[in-house]
Chains A and B, each alone.
Chain A
């Protein structure tokens, strides 16, 4: 019986001590956890440094998309005033965020690193129409996407797709700052091919 009382007292002491313990709760809307470098949130479309859109309207992302969330309608570039590097550009580019399953196949399929999944995850909205993200919203989300999707702590700039149009020749090699080698992550293992 004495041992029981001792156990009881120890239990009570444990819970009492927890009053002063730091809490595990994350006060979500006010405090947001930084997401992983490899987090797949809302898409972004990227430009080259000279302002040309990277997207060449090739439909590969739309073809790779398992849930058919991407619509691409391509048009010929005007040689005098090109929108993108190459012959064609995406006249219309839409991602339906209700359909999207954030698998990242589109960014894998893209030959010019034009589309990436970003860190933004607060995509809830009220109408179906508002989930169809247009090219403007994807290219320039800071200006056109809903304001609530941006938070200083979560949305820290991450490896922007840099490079110049001239790099197009070597698309197999990732442009500098690509997320294949995220900061802090293990560098990719160099495989020795043949002898």
Chain B
């Protein structure tokens, strides 16, 4: 077994993991949301409706693929694939467990532990916004365009916040490698105890990054039909949809990794701890969605630029000063 085979296997496993998790996140969200709304949720297909995502997928697969006459063909086709690519690519630097010994080789349970992993996360996640923009622009529809414009403005505002929250984590652990950050947390303590503000800021930014309620303005089905998704149907729509849920999974995994120690736990360290923490964040996302109404556009902008970003800057400055002062 050469390195290439191992790398390929790791990539395939990561993709398979995400593609398997995604349908069950939709199931989890729909069931939990309905419980919070005094409903029952999907319970017809399979036990507890567990096969519902499969049925939905099949349905989308057989739907007509509509392409508007005024659409830019190349971009319209590229955008959904790009969304999915960006969503999956972000997950590449998240370690899901300790290094394991397989067939005479040490295999780290991560696709790639880049030395600049934290930077890569910010870069890859903002690649997704191009997909939204391309999708909205190329559809040739005003709703799509408005949704895309909102998405662009929102993600630019909150990308900054996300970056600054991650900067604090990087400062504390003195490394941009996600692997080092997990190791650092095992040595000392979870980052959340040292950076509670950065943690909260990260969660808010992650909500906005994944376009989830209360920051779902790009989609805003009650105002903009479905925003940038308006003209998409069938499997192309499904690709955007999958990307959204994989993004949700990825930001949850990152939150768990950067702030809650990743795969490490009080005993038996391994992927199950990461999964547990991810579930916690997914629950939080659904819980927030069930609770909060969508922000108005000006509220969204004011929240970011005049409250959260100054707070984040202050947090970065104080963290840096304290680290320098402590040596």
Contacts and interface: CB of A to CB of B under 8 A. Distances in A.
Contact of A15 (B36, B39, B43): B36
A27 B40 contact: yes
Contact of B37 (A12, A18, A22, A27): A18
B15 to A, nearest CB: 33
A15 B40 contact: no
Contact of B287 (A12, A21, A22, A25): A12
Nearest to B41: A25
Given A11-B292, A15-B291, A27-B40, 16 more contacts: A8-B292, A12-B287, A12-B291, A14-B291, A15-B36, A15-B287, A16-B287, A18-B35, A18-B36, A18-B37, A19-B35, A22-B38, A23-B38, A23-B39, A24-B38, A25-B40
B291 A25 contact: no
B226 to A, nearest CB: 24
A15 to B, nearest CB: 5
Chain A: number of interface residues, binned into ranges: 10 to 19
Contacts of A23: 35, 38-40
Nearest to B35: A19
Nearest to B32: A19
Interface string B31-55: 0000111111001000000000000
18 contacts: A8-B292, A11-B291, A14-B291, A15-B36, A15-B287, A18-B35, A18-B36, A19-B35, A21-B38, A22-B38, A23-B35, A23-B38, A23-B39, A23-B40, A24-B38, A24-B39, A25-B38, A27-B40
Contacts of A18: 35-38
Interface of B: 35-40, 43, 287-288, 290-292
Contacts of A15: 36, 287, 290-291
Q: Which 3 pairs from chain A and chain B are nearest by CB?
A: A25-B40, A15-B291, A15-B290
| Residue from A11, A15, A27 with most neighbouring chain B CB atoms (10 Å) | A15
Contacts of B288: 12
A25 B31 CA distance: 13
A19 B291 CA distance: 12
B289 to A, nearest CB: 9
Contacts of B37: 18
A21 B290 CA distance: 15
Interface in A59-103: none
A8 B204 CA distance: 13
Contacts of B36: 15-16, 18-19
Contacts of A11: 291-292
A83 to B, nearest CB: 47
A27 B38 CA distance: 13
Contacts of B35: 18-19, 23
A21 B35 CA distance: 8
Contacts of A25: 38-40
B19 to A, nearest CB: 29
Contacts of B290: 15
Nearest to A17: B36
Nearest to B307: A1
B253 to A, nearest CB: 23
B308 to A, nearest CB: 12
Nearest to A29: B44
Interface string A10-54: 011011101101111101000000000000000000000000000
Nearest to B293: A11
Nearest to A12: B291
Contacts of B43: 27
Nearest to A21: B38
Contacts of B40: 23, 25, 27
Nearest to B37: A18
B180 to A, nearest CB: 34
A25 B291 CA distance: 20
A14 B40 CA distance: 18
A23 B41 CA distance: 10
A14 B290 CA distance: 10
| Residue from B37, B38, B291 with most neighbouring chain A CB atoms (10 Å) | B291
A23 B36 CA distance: 9
A14 B43 CA distance: 24
Nearest to A13: B291
Nearest to A16: B287
A33 to B, nearest CB: 16
Contacts of B291: 11-12, 14-15
Contacts of A21: 38
A54 B165 CA distance: 83
A14 B37 CA distance: 10
Nearest to A27: B40
A28 to B, nearest CB: 11
A11 B214 CA distance: 13
B227 to A, nearest CB: 25
